[in-house]
Amino acid sequence: MKKTSTRLADGRELIYYDLRDDVVRNAVDQRPLEPTVTTSEIRRDPLLGDSVAIASHRQGRTYHPPADECPLCPSRQGRLSEVPDASYDVVVFENRFPSLAGDSGRCEVVCFTSDHQASFSDLTPEQARLVLDAWTDRTAELSHISAVEQVFCFENRGAEIGVTLQHPHGQIYAYPFTTPRTALMLRQVAAHKEATGGENLFDAVLERETADERVVLAGEHWVAFVPYAAHWPYEVHLYPRRRVPDLLGLDEAARTEFPQVYLELLRRFDRLFGENESPTPYIAAWHQAPFGQLEEFDGVSRDDFALHLELFTIRRTSGKLKYLAGSESGMSVFINDVPPERAAERLREVASS
């Protein structure tokens, strides 16, 4: 992997990640951009104890542009975009309309390929490995920013999810706090450790889940399953078999196997609802241990956390979506219409031949 860092016309950082070492990246952003102005602010909810990002400048962000005006495609034939070069393998840049900025954190866009019509599942294993390496590199770099406490790499795909740019891409949020979801996990880990005299909760869950009928795909270094208490109609958790706290902890064997396992999972998701259905909308979310101090979680260290990816779709059946209505949105109590055992069975049925 070759890494080349440059600056866009408004001062934002852009980084090329290339498969070949002999690629030269010296294109200059020719757009007449003014410096980016953000109004991101973090406010803490005193009743729930969580944080909310107030980012009014995002109202003006790019919204469903036509393909020939896509800001994530390379700059070609006189049309200038967020990527100055005429081609790229993987590129990462600071979001022009960030939810988090300055002391409130940082937001980055990750473009998986220059092919506007592709999807992550269309990547070759070599390309998917490059994305993994870019996620890992950005996690390492962002963790050194003093304001950053947790790094979250994720992909939203599909208009049904709320995606406003169709080009295959994901995002990275560098939060200045430990997210509520992660804090819940850490509290559960702490309670389980105390109750069992030191047993790791992630290890116990993984052992139970991989012994059950909900395993979807198993490799030598990774295992994917539908969790016992799945929140979403089709939800898969992907774990490395060796517990590590973050992407930086993966060894070469796990990195090598990841593309084959993950690409197969994504392709199965696209086959779930038949050929006549639009590509399956999904969210793919990496859960990593916070880089900040964990004193509030008694007896828990970063090494007690288990890196894993959660992949789920809001489509519950052909032509129907799972909406977060009163119970889910009002009380955070999910109601799942698809039994996890049936979801796992269906995901095995649509395996590649």
C-alpha dihedral, 136 to 284 to 228 to 204, nearest 10° = 10
91, 115, 152, 190, 208 from 111: Cα distances, Å: 5, 10, 16, 37, 36
Report the distance separating Cα 23 and Cα 3, nearest Å: 10
Range of the domain at 281: 186-349
Q: Is the domain of 72 the same as that of 121?
A: yes
- The answer to whether residue 259 sits within a structural domain is yes
Q: How many other C-beta atoms can be found within 10 angstroms of the C-beta atom of residue 65?
A: 14
Q: Do 208 and 270 share a domain, yes or no? A: yes
Most distant CA pair in the chain: distance in Å?
A: 65
- Check which CATH number belongs to the domain holding 269 and give it: 3.30.428.10
List 169, 221, 237, 287, catalytic entry: 169
Residue matched to tokens 């509520």? 180
Q: Which residues contact 156 (CB under 8 A, 6 or more apart)?
A: 162, 163, 170, 171, 283
Tell whether 198 and 229 lie within a shared domain.
yes
For 107, the token pair is 């937001």
157 shares its domain with 63: yes
* 20 assigned to some structural domain: yes
Residues 134 and 217 in one domain: no
> Domain for residue 37, yes or no?
no
Between helix 180-196 and helix 201-210 the angle, nearest 10°, is 90
Q: Are residues 23 and 150 in the same domain?
A: yes
Q: What letter represents residue 212's amino acid?
A: D
Which of 146, 175, 204 is at the close of a domain?
175
Domain count, the chain: 2
Do residue 235 and residue 281 come from a single domain? Answer: yes
Residues 313 and 336 in one domain: yes
**DSSP state at residue 280:** P
Is 221 among the residues known to form the active site? no
DSSP state letters, 246-269: SGGG--HHHHHHHHHHHHHHHHHH
The phi, psi pair for 28, rounded to 5°, reads -110, 135
Are 125 and 194 within one domain? no
User: Which two three-digit tokens encode residue 83?
Assistant: 């990527």
Same domain, 107 and 7: yes
Point out the domain boundary residue: 175, 196, 229.
Answer: 175
**pLDDT tens by residue, the chain, 353 residues:** 999 999 999 999 999 999 999 999 999 999 999 888 888 899 999 999 999 999 988 877 787 899 899 999 999 988 999 999 999 999 999 999 999 998 899 999 999 999 999 999 999 999 999 999 999 999 999 999 999 999 999 999 999 999 999 999 999 999 999 999 999 999 999 999 999 999 999 999 999 999 999 999 999 999 999 999 999 999 999 999 999 999 999 999 999 999 999 999 999 999 999 877 879 999 999 999 999 888 889 889 999 999 999 999 999 999 999 999 999 999 999 999 999 999 999 999 999 97
Total-model pTM: 0.96
Say yes or no: 199 and 167 in one domain. Answer: no
Domain co-membership, 167 together with 27 = yes
Answer for the pair 165, 72: CB distance below 8 angstroms, yes or no.
yes
Q: Residue 209 domain-assigned?
A: yes
Give a yes or no: residue 167 inside a domain: yes
- Whose tokens are 């495609």? That residue is 73
